[in-house]
Amino acid sequence: MKIPFELEEKIAREIQNVKLSDLKEVAQTLSNRYMNEKRKGQSLINKKLEVLAYSIIRMPATFCAIDKAIEETLKKYNPTIETALDIGSGTGAGEWAILNNIDISKITCIEREDEMSSLAQKLLEEHKNINWKNQDIVKNKINEKADLVIVSYMINELQDEVKEDVIKNILESFNKIVIFIEPGTPDGFSNIRKIQKLAINNNLNILAPCTSQNECKLPKDDWCHSIVRVERNKIHKFVKDADVPYEDEKFSYIAISKEKIDNSGGRILRHPNISSGFIKVKLCNNGIIEEKTFTKKDKDNFKKIKKLKCGDLI
């Protein structure tokens, strides 16, 4: 998967007067900052050059993860969605993903960092149905409501002591669907577990990727994630000092609705173990964690599962 061509062109225009070597240096600084600094709700990106570097090294993967999460969610429940709210909208990856999947009437973006929001508005200037709001949701409650709410890679940036209050506030801000997306790591998934528990306690319904309405049965030291392969263009490869023309973005997500939906099925938890005559798959099957083996004798399923990866639904 790759970002829309229109978006790729717009980012290229924004960086045309910037030295790629400078972007590469700033990108490395950002990567080190994200990996090594403990999350305390502080601002990690607030300069124009940092935001431009971020748009190259992180925006493609963020777009692809949000796009995949929306696509998987709409397979389970596809109501009429006229309004959307993106909380912690950053450089606008969520807006591109929403526009790629839904014929939307209005999108509201909430973002704390002015430089992030400024670039997002430039990249989306032709879309007149998008409103922008500068707000720190830790300090000020969200008053807006929308049919679809997106919260991507944001809860993991908060201090632990404020997470529950912020999540509860978000769970009051949607009319039909809310989707939380976090890094596909043990820490990211621990936030998803917290969100899942709060949703169930508030009589909300789980859409995806979970396959039951119960709390996750995975052991505490295990985690669930999906994966999407992201194409890298030449600039992306240079700035990240990468040789491979793609990267695999691992993300954990949870989609929640107010309407009760049948979310049963089998969700692949790990890459299938493929051998010459059989495939072993670890599944969350209607909320039960189990391993299944499919052989060549089961021709249709064998061929289908051979093409699937973790996060996909059987």
In this prediction, residue 299 carries a pLDDT of: 77
CA count, 13 A, side-chain hemisphere, 153: 20
Q: Specify the length of the chain in residues.
A: 314
In this structure, what DSSP letter does residue 313 have?
A: B
Residues 184, 278: Cα–Cα separation, whole Å: 27
- Say if residue 41's pLDDT is above 70: no
In this prediction, residues 41-56 reach a mean pLDDT of 82
Give 97-134 pLDDT, tens digit per residue. 999 999 999 999 999 999 999 999 999 999 999 999 99
Residue found by looking up tokens 């431009």 in the block: 52
In this prediction, residues 278-298 reach a mean pLDDT of 91
In this prediction, residue 248 carries a pLDDT of: 95
Confidence class for position 281, pLDDT limits 50, 70, 90 = very high
Cα angle: 44, vertex 12, 42; to 5 degrees = 5
Element (H, E) at 132: strand 130-134
In this prediction, residue 297 carries a pLDDT of: 85
Confidence class for position 277, pLDDT limits 50, 70, 90 = confident
Compute the mean pLDDT over every residue in the chain, rounded to the nearest whole number. Answer: 93
In this prediction, residue 33 carries a pLDDT of: 75
Confidence class for position 45, pLDDT limits 50, 70, 90 = confident
In this prediction, residue 223 carries a pLDDT of: 94
Residues 194, 198: Cα–Cα separation, whole Å: 6
- Say if residue 39's pLDDT is above 60: no
In this prediction, residue 43 carries a pLDDT of: 60
Cα angle: 258, vertex 262, 266; to 5 degrees = 125
Residues 66, 152: Cα–Cα separation, whole Å: 7
- The proportion of the chain whose per-residue pLDDT surpasses 90, expressed as a percent, equals 83
**pTM of the entire predicted model:** 0.94
Give 163-215 pLDDT, tens digit per residue. 999 999 999 999 999 999 999 999 999 999 999 999 999 999 999 999 999 99
In this prediction, residue 307 carries a pLDDT of: 87
Burial (0-12, 13-18, 19+ Cβ within 10 Å), 96? buried
CB 208 within 8 A of CB 181: no
In this prediction, residue 121 carries a pLDDT of: 97
> Residue 66: which of 104, 95, 30 has the closest Cα?
95
List, in order of start, the domains of the chain with CATH numbers. 5-257 (3.40.50.150), 266-306 (no CATH)
In this prediction, residue 239 carries a pLDDT of: 92
